[in-house]
Amino acid sequence: MAGFHASGHGGKFNLRAEVHSGHVYLEVADEGGPWTRTAHGDDRPHGLELVEALAGPGNWGITGDASGRTAWARITI
């Protein structure tokens, strides 16, 4: 399953999901632009911290640069 959607910053992103025997592969690709990972002042997880908690270390990542990037995760089911 895949589709393009408008982001809140005027760009587009593509969400893709694949269901396999034993795991689900998810990725979100965007058109790029400035982005920095920021720390939050509270004690609860946000964004990619939730992805890491669900997928586990080594089962998620980000590839690309300011011209476009993809965040992906492999979640065992």
What pLDDT tens digit does each residue of the chain (77 aa) get? 555 555 555 567 889 999 999 999 999 998 776 667 777 778 776 788 888 889 999 999 988 887 888 999 999 99
Let me know: does 7 contact 30? Beta carbons within 8 Å. Answer: yes
Contacts of 28 (CB under 8 A, 6+ apart): 13, 14, 15, 16, 70, 71, 72
Alpha-carbon distance of 73 to 32, in angstroms, equals 19
